Amino acid sequence: MCGIAGIFKRHGGEIDRDILQRMTDALHHRGPDESGYFFDNGIGFGHRRLSIIDLASGQQPMLTNDRRVALTYNGEIYNFKSLRGELESLGYRFETNCDTEVLLQAWVEWGPQCVNRLRGMFAFAIWDANREILFLARDRLGIKPLYFGFASDDSLVFG
């Protein structure tokens, strides 16, 4: 169990770091092991981690090496080992043994269609600066919930 939080401003602008930190702190009970943040123009992710798979690495939000794609994720991808093998056969290299990195690279390879390959319980947010897309998804049964709404300044907030 982890906790994710985020703020997105469609037209860009600075994210209020204090608000995002308070949103993330409210999820401490879901992930007491670590916290992390990602900020870019018009986007901010917060993450609370409960370390289960790959205790030494897998910190979040996780970014691609070029820092153009960021992921905050809660859940477990049951078939991440087979997806990893498929991605490795396509030339991807992995620095961790966690399902988070597999999900991140699956997005890079397949974009929104990556969700059709996932088996498990999950809720995640991806900011892809290359495609200029914020993508939110949850598992088909809603085992891992994903809530979102709009703030008074028209920002999308989620957790």
Please list, in sequence order, all residues whose beta carbon lies within 8 angstroms of the beta carbon of residue 24, skipping any fewer than 6 positions away.
Answer: 3, 5, 35, 37, 46, 47, 48
- Confirm whether 2 is a catalytic residue: yes
Q: Which of 1, 2, 10, 133 is catalytic?
A: 2
Local structure of 150: helix, strand or coil: strand
What is the pairing mode between strands 120-128 and 156-158?
A: unpaired
100: left (phi over 0), alpha (psi -120 to 50) or beta: alpha
CA angle 5, 28, 39 (to 5 degrees): 35
Local structure of 46: helix, strand or coil: strand
What residues act catalytically?
A: 2
